């Protein structure tokens, strides 16, 4: 299975809703519109020639400079037979970070989406239990978003002189 073949099949099926095909860091990747994320994943899963049936990871990246597509949700999927991995990106606006859940297709997406929600606040519509998974339940912000400082805000004993804060 070559990259060109995957690109060809996807472009035939989805037209301009998928774009930006490239190979970076040894993994073939492309962008898709967030509205059709489940159609694309379903197609990649069911098409006999593609058969990407294993979900490796879901995560997100925050790009504060990209207007209206600040949060980029990333899917890594794997064809275990051909041992081929691909990466799919879907960008959603920070103001309304909604995207359909992948739990309807992959049960393993459950915890991955909870983690992505926990750290980035991506709202996976239709997720059965979208609550925090790693951070304390009382946390009221999404720590991996770039507008929040990494440091613990309650700490008072570290001053600028010694700790560069």
Partner 1 sequence: MGRPVQYNTNERQLTIPEGYSGEGFMATKMDQLVGLGRSHSLWPLPFATSCCGIEFMGTMGSNYDLGRFGAERMGFTPRQCDVLLVAGTISKKLAPVLRQVYLQMAEPRWVVAIGACASSGGIFDSYSVLQGIDQVIPVDVYVPGCPPRPEGIIEGILRVQDLVRAESTRRRNHPRYKELMESYGIE
Residue ranges that bind partner 1, judged by CB under 8 A: 134-136, 139, 143, 148, 150-152, 154-155, 157-158, 163
Rounded Cα distance between 73 and 69, Å, is: 10
Looking at beta carbons only, is 28 or 119 nearer to partner 1? 119
Looking at beta carbons only, is 80 or 134 nearer to partner 1? 134
Q: Is 28 helix (H, G, I), strand (E, B) or coil?
A: strand
Rounded Cα distance between 56 and 123, Å, is: 20
Looking at beta carbons only, is 40 or 122 nearer to partner 1? 122
Least separation in angstroms between residue 49's CB and partner 1 is 43
Least separation in angstroms between residue 121's CB and partner 1 is 14
123 burial (CB, 10 Å; 0-12 / 13-18 / 19+) is: middle
Least separation in angstroms between residue 155's CB and partner 1 is 5
47 burial (CB, 10 Å; 0-12 / 13-18 / 19+) is: middle
Looking at beta carbons only, is 82 or 139 nearer to partner 1? 139
Least separation in angstroms between residue 159's CB and partner 1 is 12
Beta-sheet pairing, 18-24 with 71-79: unpaired
Q: Is 47 helix (H, G, I), strand (E, B) or coil?
A: coil
Looking at beta carbons only, is 85 or 132 nearer to partner 1? 132
Least separation in angstroms between residue 133's CB and partner 1 is 10
H-helix or E-strand spanning residue 68: none
């Amino acid at each position: 299975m070559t990259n060109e073949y995957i690109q060809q099949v996807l472009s035939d099926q989805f037209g301009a809703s998928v774009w930006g095909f490239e190979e970076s860091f040894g993994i073939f990747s492309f962008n898709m519109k967030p509205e059709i994320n489940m159609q694309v994943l379903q197609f990649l899963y069911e098409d006999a020639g593609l058969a990407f049936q294993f979900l490796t990871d879901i995560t997100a990246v925050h790009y504060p400079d990209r207007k209206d597509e600040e949060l980029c949700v990333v899917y890594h999927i794997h064809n275990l037979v051909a041992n081929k991995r691909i990466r799919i990106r879907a960008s959603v606006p920070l103001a309304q970070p909604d995207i359909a859940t992948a739990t309807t297709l992959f049960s393993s997406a459950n915890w991955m989406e909870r983690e992505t929600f926990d750290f980035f606040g991506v709202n996976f519509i239709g997720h059965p239990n979208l609550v925090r998974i790693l951070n304390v339940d009382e946390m009221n912000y999404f720590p991996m978003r770039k507008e929040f400082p990494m440091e613990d805000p309650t700490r008072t004993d570290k001053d600028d002189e010694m700790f560069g804060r």
